[in-house]
Structure 1
Amino acid sequence: MPDKSAKKKNHPVLEWIIAIAVAVLLAFSIRMFIFEPYVVDGDSMDPTLQNSEKLFVNKIIHYIGKFDRGDIVIINGEDNKEHYVKRIIGLPGDTVEVTNDVLYVNGKETKEPYLDERKREAEESGFQLTNDFEEVKVPAGKYFVMGDNRQVSMDSRTGLGLIETDRVIGKSEFVMLPLNKIRATN
């Protein structure tokens, strides 16, 4: 008489299929909702970020909606096919302007240490790194962004306009490739 207390064993192939399916689902979920790699395309964030560097992007912060002035973020293009890497300069409710290569946020001079070397080079060459623009009021639900390479960056001043909060995918945490250039980005 057969032992009814013995458990039926699953087929080993079925167990592997289930394990692989769970792993794929987990990897997809992590990439979709937690973090994702992005590649820098172009020179708009030079010298902070170089063309072709791969970034580790924290996507959890997108769901929390807590970005800070100075954060480097990934922005969805309006067509959802292109992505842009920019720095948040103005938060909702801020006023932003540049006069004589000095950034003013809410009427106060704002230091940009990530631009110090570039500003020195610009001054030595007799030009401004960031062209003047009049005060811009950042409405609720939007951000004012700029690239660090101000002479070539398409950003809130030119082309991109003010960025809706739902277009900000996440915050760059560090450069992960190439391996010899691993470093924090914020």
Structure 2
Amino acid sequence: MAKRKSEWFEWVKALLIAFALAFIVRTFFFAPIVVDGPSMMPTLHDGDQMIVNKFLYDIQEPERFDVVVFHASDKKDFIKRIIGLPGEHVAVENNVLYIDGKKVKEPFLAEAKKEMMSYQPYTEDFQLEDLPGGHETIPEDHVLVLGDNRNNSTDSRILGLVSLEQIVGKTSLIYWPFERMQILEE
């Protein structure tokens, strides 16, 4: 009888340790997210399941074109691409991205722009001053984010700039559906 209690106790202890480790990993290091909606098409599809790296920005700064998850509100997280970094001026004119007045290529949009530009602009013209907040440059500890589906995305053009505190983490691994499994390229 004592042996059975000891064995049962060991199983309970192992399960508790496993749950504790899973909780710690999910809370502080990695978490799953499901893409909700078309705002990141063609890069991400509605229903894609991804892993968010929650600790990366504790050891390095966000970079242009990182795909990030951020708290858009208390109840909703969004997934978008970082376009502008602190201290920069961002504008789009005639479907061309300008950072501090210099053209910047967006290779992840090349195909989509080709398809759509024949009948409408892929990204409506804007400049940083036109966005909520009216900033001339992106303030410290903030970034400008845009969805890859520029005509159907709630992003910095509507929400304003995103503070680094709002960012949950970077995501680049699609793990489901299986046929879309991939690591996103910049």
Scaled by the length of structure 2, the TM-score of the pair is 0.90
Aligned position for 1:59: 54
Q: Provide the rounded CA distance (Å) in 2 between the counterparts of 1:54 and 1:99.
A: 33
Say whether 1:118 aligns with 2:112: yes
Say whether 1:75 aligns with 2:75: no
The aligned runs of 1:150-169 (5 Å cut-off) are 150-158=150-158, 160-169=159-168
Residue 145 of structure 1 contacts residue 162 of structure 1 at CA under 8 Å; is this kept in 2? Answer: yes
Amino acid at match of 2:147: G
Aligned position for 2:132: none
How far is the alpha carbon of 1:57 from its aligned partner? 1.3
Say whether 1:107 aligns with 2:101: yes
Residue 62 of structure 1 contacts residue 169 of structure 1 at CA under 8 Å; is this kept in 2? Answer: no
User: What is the root-mean-square deviation of aligned Cα atoms in Å?
Assistant: 1.5
Q: Provide the rounded CA distance (Å) in 2 between the counterparts of 1:123 and 1:91.
A: 27
Aligned residues: 176
Residue 92 of structure 1 contacts residue 140 of structure 1 at CA under 8 Å; is this kept in 2? Answer: yes
Q: Provide the rounded CA distance (Å) in 2 between the counterparts of 1:139 and 1:87.
A: 18
Amino acid at match of 2:97: L
Q: Provide the rounded CA distance (Å) in 1 between the counterparts of 2:116 and 2:146.
A: 17
Q: Provide the rounded CA distance (Å) in 1 between the counterparts of 2:122 and 2:72.
A: 25
Per-residue CA shift, 1:114-133, capped at 9, x if unaligned?
Answer: 111111112222x1100011
Scaled by the length of structure 1, the TM-score of the pair is 0.90
Q: Provide the rounded CA distance (Å) in 2 between the counterparts of 1:150 and 1:180.
A: 25
Q: Which runs of 5+ in 1 are unaligned?
A: 1-7
Q: Provide the rounded CA distance (Å) in 2 between the counterparts of 1:115 and 1:173.
A: 16
Aligned position for 1:49: 44
Question: Greater Rg, structure 1 or structure 2?
Answer: 1
Which residue among 9, 26, 29 is the counterpart of 2:21? 26
Q: Is the partner of 2:41 in helix, strand or coil?
A: coil
Following superposition, which runs of at least 4 residues in structure 1 exceed 2 angstroms of deviation? 62-65
Q: Provide the rounded CA distance (Å) in 1 between the counterparts of 2:168 and 2:57.
A: 6
Amino acid at match of 1:39: V
Amino acid at match of 1:184: I
Aligned position for 2:83: 89
How far is the alpha carbon of 1:65 from its aligned partner? 4.9
Q: Which runs of 5+ in 2 are unaligned?
A: 130-136
Change (3 A) 1:65 1:167: farther
Higher helix proportion: 2
Q: Provide the rounded CA distance (Å) in 2 between the counterparts of 1:33 and 1:63.
A: 11
Aligned position for 1:133: 126
Q: Provide the rounded CA distance (Å) in 2 between the counterparts of 1:95 and 1:177.
A: 36
